[in-house]
Amino acid sequence: MAHYTPLSAFLSRHFDHKVQKISVNAGFTCPNRDGTLGRGGCTYCNNQTFNPDYCATSESVREQLERGKTFFRRAQQKRAAKRGQTETVSGVEMKYLAYFQAYTNTYGELTRLMQLYEEALAVPDVVGLVIGTRPDCVSEELLDYFAQLQQRAFVLIEYGVESTSDASLRRINRGHDFATAADAIWRTAARGLPVGAHFILGLPGESADFTAAQAADINRLPLDTLKLHQLQIVRGTAMAREFVEQQEKAAADPSFRSDFHLYSAEAYAALVVDLLERLRPDLVVERFTSFSPKALLLAPDWGLKNHEFTTLVEREFVRRGTHQGSLWDGTTPSSR
Ligand code: SF4
């Protein structure tokens, strides 16, 4: 049994069949790049890292979903063949969630947004939406629409929060503070919508102690799911330039200390466990890592797959004899 609350626990609360997320790039842009909410974008962001191979922006939402369904069906058939089964899924019904992932998927005219979401839901076997967005880009009108939509489809809103530290958020040019993220999460949950959040662990200037202590603020938010990512330095980003500059300074001046701390896989697994021990046990932890394409990744290059990293986390829990919530202080989301 997992030592943390995995995504399957969340999915089984909402579905009585298997569901697979299919990433969709609906051609959105980002208000933190075009000057509407900010300029230059988040310093770590290179959107070339967002799209899986089956997801081409030249295709409509419907075409991308159909292509994704074919991709996952073939993968299922291969797995079934390996097990010596002739049936693709041995009678297990598979449904899909359209994952609006790239850029800011609530950035646009309401009618245009509604068209895109409805196009996804009209695809056979697509039973819901997962919508990734910025916390400063959700209007009351849009949230009301999502609340209505969830009467007939599953809807999960995922916010990029990234850190509870306003200093870190300023440094990475997020263009919003933590209070804005908390406000969006509360406004979404108040409508009965499931809410998720992304965090990057180990942003420049953040210590391991601070990273784990963020659990206290996270526990107070009405979140259902959490995605954790290690800090990755991606080529072509402002953060990559900052990182290289600091490395060059450190090479030239031994007294200079870079405040980038890139964890080894084992040290990052320990950091994840430090955080999870402090998290409330019902909060679903969907993932611990994200791996940018090798050609774009400057550092750290662990050469691991997701499931191999999960094994490191499990091993660390076993070594410590702990589990998610074993150091939880009992804090739960409370009214604002
Ligand atoms: S991470 Fe998201 S919000 Fe930040 S610049 Fe990239 S697309 Fe925009």
Give 213-245 pLDDT, tens digit per residue: 999 999 999 999 999 999 999 999 999 999 999
Average pLDDT over residues 74-101: 79
The confidence score (pLDDT) of residue 137 equals: 97
Indicate if ligand 1 lies below 6 Å from the C-beta of 32.
Answer: yes
H or E element, residue 298: strand 297-299
Give pLDDT, residue 83: 82
Number of separate helices (H) and strands (E) present in the chain: 10, 9
Half-sphere exposure of 81 (CA within 13 A, CB side): 6
Cβ contacts of 84 within 8 Å, gap of 6 or more: none
Distances (CA, A) of 235 to 45, 170, 231, 298: 9, 21, 13, 6
Task: Give the N- to C-terminal CA distance of the chain in Å, as an integer.
Answer: 35
Span from the CA of 231 to the centroid of ligand 1 (angstroms): 15
* CB atoms inside a 10 Å sphere around CB 75: 12
- Record the pTM: 0.94
Q: What is the pLDDT of residues 88-100, one digit of tens each?
A: 545 567 999 999 9
| Cα gap 272→291, rounded to integer Å | 16
Closest residue (by CA) to atom 5 of ligand 1? 41
132, pLDDT greater than 60: yes
CA-based torsion, 324, 328, 330, 334: positive or negative: negative
Q: Which residues contact 171 (CB under 8 A, 6 or more apart)?
A: 43, 203, 204, 205
Q: Whose CA is nearest to atom 2 of ligand 1?
A: 103
Q: What are all long-range contacts of 51-59, with beta carbons under 8 Å and residues at least 24 apart?
A: 51/23, 51/25, 51/101, 51/102, 52/23, 54/22, 54/23, 55/23, 55/24, 55/25, 55/102, 56/25, 57/25, 57/27
Strand 195-201 versus strand 154-162 pairing type: parallel
Mean pLDDT rounded to a whole number for the chain: 93
pLDDT confidence tier of residue 86, bands split at 50, 70 and 90: low
Q: From the CB of 28, is ligand 1 less than 6 Å away?
A: no
Task: From 224, 59, 202, select the one nearest 130 (Cα to Cα).
Answer: 224
Bridge partners of 227, per DSSP, are 198, 287
- The SS3 of residue 20 is strand
**Residue with CA nearest ligand 1 atom 8:** 30
- Going by C-beta distance under 8 Å and a sequence separation of 6 or more, which residues neighbour residue 260? 204, 231, 233, 242, 243, 246
Q: Is the pLDDT confidence value at 2 over 60? A: yes
pLDDT of 49 reads: 64
43 CA → ligand 1 middle, Å: 9
pLDDT at 77: 85
Question: Which of 25, 33, 36 to probe ligand 1 with, by most ligand atoms within 8 A of CB?
Answer: 33
Provide the pLDDT for residue 93.
77
Q: Residue 58's pLDDT is what?
A: 83
Given a cut of 60, whether residue 130 has pLDDT beyond it is: yes
Residue 126 has pLDDT above 90, yes or no: yes
How far does the centroid of ligand 1 lie from the alpha carbon of residue 274, in Å? 27
Lowest mean pLDDT, pick from 33-47, 74-88, 168-182, 237-251: 74-88
* Short-list 171, 104, 127, CA closest to 22: 127
Q: Is the CB of 41 under 6 A from ligand 1?
A: yes
Residue 215 Cβ inside 6 Å of ligand 1? The answer reads: no
Q: Is the pLDDT of residue 85 over 80?
A: no
Provide the b/e sequence for 291-329 (b: ≥16 CB within 10 Å). Answer: bbeeebbbebebeeeeeebbebbbebbeeeebbbbbebe
Structure tokens at 297: 């990744």
Q: Give CA 101 to chain center in angstroms.
A: 9
Alpha carbons within 13 A on the beta-carbon side of 105: 25
Residue 281 has pLDDT above 80, yes or no: yes
Residue 200 CA to ligand 1 centre (angstroms): 13
What digits encode the pLDDT tens for the residues 178-206? 999 999 999 999 999 999 999 999 999 99
Nearest to 104 by CA among 208, 191, 27: 27
Structure confidence by residue, pLDDT tens digits, 26-47: 999 999 999 999 999 999 998 6
Q: What is the distance in A from the centroid of ligand 1 to the CA of 317? A: 33
Query: 262: pLDDT confidence band, cut at 50, 70 and 90?
Result: very high
| 42 pocket-lining for ligand 1 (C-beta < 6 Å) | yes
**Residue with CA closest to ligand 1 atom 6:** 45
Rg over CA atoms, the chain: 20
Per-residue pLDDT of 138-162, as tens digits, reads 999 999 999 999 999 999 999 999 9
Nearest residue by C-alpha to atom 4 in ligand 1: 42
- For residue 300, whether the previous peptide bond is cis, meaning omega lies within 30 degrees of 0, is yes
- The yes-or-no verdict on residue 248 having pLDDT over 70 is yes
Question: pLDDT-based confidence at 78, cuts 50/70/90?
Answer: confident
pLDDT per residue as tens digits for the range 45-70: 986 665 555 555 689 999 999 999 99
